[in-house]
Each structure stands twice: as structure tokens, then as C-alpha cells.
Structure 1
Amino acid sequence: MENSSLAWPGNDNASLPIELPSCATLRSQISRISLYAFLSVGTGCTVVGNFLVVLSISYFKQLQSPTNSFVLSLAVADCLVGLLVMPFSMIRTVEGCWYFGPLFCRLHSSLDVMLCTASIFHLSCIAFDRYYAVCNPLVYSLKMSNSHVALLIAICWTVPMLISFGPIMLDLHVADVDIFIPSDVCVFLVSRVYAVMASLVAFYLPMAVMLVAYWKIFKAAKRQAKQISAMESQMAAGVGKDSSKKKRHRNTMKREGKAAKTLGIIMGVFLIFWMPFFTVNIVDPFIEYTTEGVVWDVFLWLGYINSSLNPFLYGFFNRCFRRAFLMFLSCRVCLPGISSGMELSHS
């Protein structure tokens, strides 16, 4: 999502119309080249990393599960952020100017809000899915049937579209001030109502879902850890009658505990990188839009980085994804004998 890339002047004369100044490139050539290089790497990582997730789930049957249906759709949203949003935001951030006209500014803002919100919604759906898998496995197949997963994914795309393209293209989001914005400036000044409502729907409600789901998963993981400890004590005492069955059960609980830990790290990253933006997004209209442009730029790109990190988090913490990524990067999927149904959990 994006917001003003310029500082807003104090509203001492609210009855008078305000005109934003035309853009001006204030950075030196060296700093611009450095910024372009840094942000281009981030954009490239976002596209390549998420594209690898899409390829891996689409190609390998072992990765095609209800949870990974959400991961696949999340990767599509994050990949589109890297392709359609970040390049234009990068030019605006580095140059301080908007070269693409007012109509595309509104379209870019709509895509920005929609895709970033869709990414956040998918993360909450993944937490919801893991909650049933870990805490209520007996009803998991019922709650996460193909039809229910498809419905949740449809919601993850439809609601962000409704809160972005509709209000923005119809100018229902605009700040309650008389302002003239030059064609070479692309700012996203929103009313107090839109700032609060959009932030609640796009971030705070999904965050609440994720926090509740993770807390319940964390408690279940602690309970399972105690069961594992008790089971190991029994086995050490010589209770080995059904040792193979117990071992499989123990490994299953360990995997679920690891999944809970991974989800917690993903959630922590999510909160660290998106919380600053949405906090300022709500506060700024109530302080007369006085937040500095550099603050918006930093917080906005922190949010984008979340889209860059998601595929790497899955790659580092999931052995199957890690092996699938390596196979694509080394072009091993093109070798004879490599099929989409091959086992990914072993080296």
C-alpha cells in the first residue's frame, strides 16, 4: 500500500485551497544509483522467490495440499506486488517524481492497496488453516475441504478489490481538504474514515485472527511437547511393544510443533514489517498529514519487504520447499526420471 510521498504542510489556513509543489529530484546521482540498486534487488527477490513457490506447488504433487493452496495464492499476490507495484514505487521513491500521469497514479494506488491487502489476508488464512490442522485435526478435512479453501481464497481476493479499486477510482477515499495535486506528483492522501476503515479491514482484523490462531497453536505445541517427553520416558523404560507406531506419532507431533514455530516467525516478521505503516496510516489524517515523506517511504518499503521474505521463510523452514527450490534453480526438473510425483522430503 502506499501513501503520501511528500510532507504535508501544516493546516493553519484550512479554509484556503492548498497546492502541492511540483516534484523535484533532490538526491545526488550516487545516492540515486545506490537506491536503484538496493530496491531493484528487493524487487527481483520478490518476483523470483514467489515465482519459485508458484512453480514448486504447481509442479510437485507432494506440495499440493489445502495449506499450500493458500501459499500458492499468497505467492501469486506477492509476485504481482513485485511485478506491478514495486517498480513504479521505486521510481517515485528515488526520483521524487511521478512520470506516468494522474490516471495511472490512481490505478497504481488501487493495485498497491489490493495486492498488499490480499497478501495479508492469505497469511491470516494460513494461520486459520494451521489452527485446525494442529488444534482440531479431527475436523480438519471437513473445515478445509476443497470448496471451503476455494471460498476463502476468493474472499482473499474479492475483499481487497472492493476496498481498493472501488473507493480509489471513484475518489471516495480522498482527504477532506481542498487540494490541487500536480500531474507529476502521485500522493495518496485519504480521509480519516477511509484511513481507519481500510486499515482495520486490511491489517488489524487479519492480525487479530493470526494472533488468536497462533496463540492456540502455541499452547497445543507445548502440550504436544509434554506428550513427546512422556513418550520418550516410557520408551526409555523399555515400553517398546509398539515402538514403531509410537515413533511415527512422535515424529508427527514434532513436525506440527516445528510448523507452529515457523508460523510464529512468519507472524513476527509480518508484524515487524507492516505494523509501522498501518499505525502511521491511521494517525496521519488526525495530525493534519504532517508525517514526513521519508517516513512514508521507509515504512512503505518495509511492507514490501514482507512480500519478499515470505518465500524465503518457507524455503528455509520447509524441507520439501527447500528441495523443490534447489531442483528448479539447478534445472534438475528437466533431467530424465524426475517426475512431479517424486518424494521431496528426503535428500
Structure 2
Amino acid sequence: MNYTDYRQNITVQYCFPDNNSSCRKEIYTAPMYKFLLVFLSCVSVFTVFLNLLVIISISHFKQLHTPTNLLILSLSVADLLVGLFVMPVNIMQLIDSCWYLGKMACCVLPVINSVLSSASLCSLVFIAVDRYIAICDPLLYSTRVTVCKTSLFIILGWSSSLFYVILYLYFNDHFLPSQISTRCEGECVVVIAYSWVIVDLVVSFVVPCSVILILYSVIFNVARRQAKAVRAVINDASNKQGIKVLSSSETKAAKKLGTVIFVYLACWIPFYLSSLSTDSLIFVSVIYTVFGWLVLINSSVNPLIYAIFYPWFRKSVTFIVKCRIFKSSSSRLNLLPEQF
């Protein structure tokens, strides 16, 4: 489709026909655009459903009340709220490009979006730290990492995210509805000073990305050394079957860690690189929308990486689907008897 054909698929109207200062809205009628809206709507529903399964599983079954699972629970709560609130509003913006929710909602939505994204990143970092301690210092893990300490870190992470976002938007004059300036009625614009774009790049991407990459690199190297050490012992015992099992386990660990790193970088790098090319992020701009959705889709992928790969999740989903969780003793079910 060339540019002329593309423009022919756009119907130009006004957000508020009775208002002389109304913004123009563009209604896209191309079949591919309608398919995109349906697809993103399915992504939103999928995000809510999958994260809700994770939340119910960890909250209901007492056996899953571990420090690691609490971090996964925190991640799933943030991702659930993204699918429940942020994604539908973004889909609404894609329908006809107008903002109908007023200045108050325009002020609040970036706060919600940024807090949830920051809390999700904090959870990813905490999970990396948790796995680092578990692999590199397994003997002291149970004393150094407890449910109480993990809960405090989760509260600290959410509180820090909220404080940073409020500070970030306050210094960019986007904290109060009266501070928001728009070119026309029906527009929601977030204007960010370039200095704060750099600050946000460092605080919200470079630092957490570096921590995650370094920790997972160390985890993989330690796991590989441990596997080689155990394989050497098995070689001495001429246990060929054991060698195959350990090799398979090492391969699975490498694939899992590689998936974690790849998805994280693929979702966040385009967004932050695009933020360096401009001093203002317009809510309805094409580039911001595309890369912003990459970040949102990360909330759909997170439960796949951190929960579905775990056997306890697949088993708990079976109990939930069969409504067995409504039995009085279901919370005490032993999901993984061979590991406990």
C-alpha cells in the first residue's frame, strides 16, 4: 500500500464537533488496522488472565509462600494492573487518536503507567538477586532470604517506584491537571525535559539492565561450573545415564536465562533509544505508541518466563480450572511432593 492508498483509508473528523478548539481525529479503516486492534485486545485479556492465574496460585497454596514466589507475585500484580488499566486505555487511544478522559485522567495515567513499569522492573531485579543468592550461596540462602525480608523489599520497591515517578513528573510539570498544556481539546501530551530523559534512561534502564545482565551471567557461570564438577564425579563412577541428565539440565538453564535476557532487552531497548531522539513524548505519536506497546507486551511475557516454566504453576492451574481450590483443605495440597 502506497502513501496515497494509506491516506484514503483515513476518515478525518473532530474529537468534539461542538468545540472550536477541538483536535482533529483520524479514524483508520484499513483491515490491517482493525486486525491490530483485535490482536492488542486479545493481548490485554491474555495478560490479565495469565497473571491472575499466577496470583491465585501463589496466594492460595501455602506451599508456594516462598521468598522467590513472593517476588513473582509482586511482578504478576504489576503486570495484571498493566493489562487491566494501561492496555485498554492505550487501545482506546488507537481507535480514533482522541483523549476523552479529561486532564485529570491525563495526569493520573502516566503516573499509573510509570509506577507499574518501575515496580515490574524492581521485581525483575529482585528475582535476579534472589536467584543469585540461591545459586552462589545456597547454604545460607534460607537465613539470608526470608519471607519477611522479601516482603519488606517488595514494599520498598513499590514505594521507591512511586516516589521516583512523582518526582519525575513533578519536575516536568505534569503532576497537576492545571500544569498540563495542550494544543487543542482532546489531546494528552507528556512533555519531558531532555535532561530528565537521560536521568530516566540511567535510573530505569541502564542500572536495572546492568544488574540483571551481570547477575544472570554470574548465575550461569556458577551453574555451569557446578554441573561440570558433578559431571566429573559421575565420569569417575562411569554413570553414563547421569551425564545425560545433567547435560540436559544445563542446556535448559542456559535457554531459560537466555530467554529472560533477550525478552527484557527486546522490550525495553527500542523504547529508551527512541526517547533519546526527541525532547517530547506525544501520547498519540506513532513511534511512542509502537515502542510503548513493546514495553506493555513485556507484562504478557513475564508470567510465561517466571511462572509457566515452573512445574508447580502447571499443577496449580489444573486445580484452579477444575475448581478444586474451593475445597476447605485445598490450600494445603502438596503440589510438588518430590521436591519437598
| 181-190 or 293-302: bigger deviation | 181-190
Q: State the match for 2:311 in structure 1.
A: 319
CA distance in 1, matches of 2:235, 2:306: 33
Q: State the match for 2:7 in structure 1.
A: none
Segments of 4+ moved more than 6 angstroms? 250-257, 288-292
- Equivalent position to 2:321, from 329, 339, 342: 329
Task: Using structure 2 for the length normalisation, give the TM-score.
Answer: 0.81
SS at match of 1:25: strand
SS at match of 1:83: helix
Q: How far has the Cα of 1:156 moved from its partner?
A: 1.7
CA distance in 2, matches of 1:60, 1:193: 47
SS at match of 2:192: coil
CA distance in 2, matches of 1:32, 1:190: 29
Q: State the match for 1:232 in structure 2.
A: 234
1:235-250 paired onto structure 2 within 5 Å: 235-236=237-238
1:1-347 paired onto structure 2 within 5 Å: 22-28=23-29, 30-31=31-32, 33-168=34-169, 171-172=172-173, 180-236=182-238, 258=252, 261-285=255-279, 293-334=285-326, 338-344=330-336
Compared with structure 1, are the counterparts of its residues 181 and 114 closer, same or farther at alpha carbon in structure 2 (3 Å cutoff)? farther
Contact persistence 1:133–1:140 (CA under 8 A): yes
Q: Deviations over 1:236-260 (max 9, x none)?
A: 269xxxxxxxx99x98998798556
SS at match of 1:274: helix
Task: Using structure 1 for the length normalisation, give the TM-score.
Answer: 0.80
Q: Deviations over 1:62-94 (max 9, x none)?
A: 222111111001101110111121111111123
- Structure of greater relative contact order (alpha carbons < 8 Å, 6+ residues apart): 1
Q: Name the amino acid aligned to 2:132.
A: Y
User: RMSD of the TM alignment (CA)?
Assistant: 3.2
Compared with structure 1, are the counterparts of its residues 24 and 237 closer, same or farther at alpha carbon in structure 2 (3 Å cutoff)? closer
Q: Which runs of 5+ in 2 are unaligned?
A: 1-20
Q: Deviations over 1:106-131 (max 9, x none)?
A: 10011111101111111011001100
CA distance in 2, matches of 1:252, 1:154: 38
Compared with structure 1, are the counterparts of its residues 272 and 266 closer, same or farther at alpha carbon in structure 2 (3 Å cutoff)? same
Q: Name the amino acid aligned to 1:44.
A: V
Q: Name the amino acid aligned to 2:312.
A: C
CA distance in 2, matches of 1:260, 1:345: 26
| 218-227 or 251-260: bigger deviation | 251-260
Contact persistence 1:86–1:304 (CA under 8 A): yes
Q: How far has the Cα of 1:169 moved from its partner?
A: 5.4
CA distance in 2, matches of 1:150, 1:25: 47
Kindly tell me the number of residue pairs found equivalent between the two proteins: 313
CA distance in 1, matches of 2:23, 2:246: 60
Compared with structure 1, are the counterparts of its residues 259 and 159 closer, same or farther at alpha carbon in structure 2 (3 Å cutoff)? farther
Q: Deviations over 1:204-241 (max 9, x none)?
A: 21111101100100111110220232132133269xxx
CA distance in 2, matches of 1:251, 1:46: 34
CA distance in 2, matches of 1:301, 1:41: 13
Q: How far has the Cα of 1:284 moved from its partner?
A: 2.0
CA distance in 2, matches of 1:224, 1:89: 46
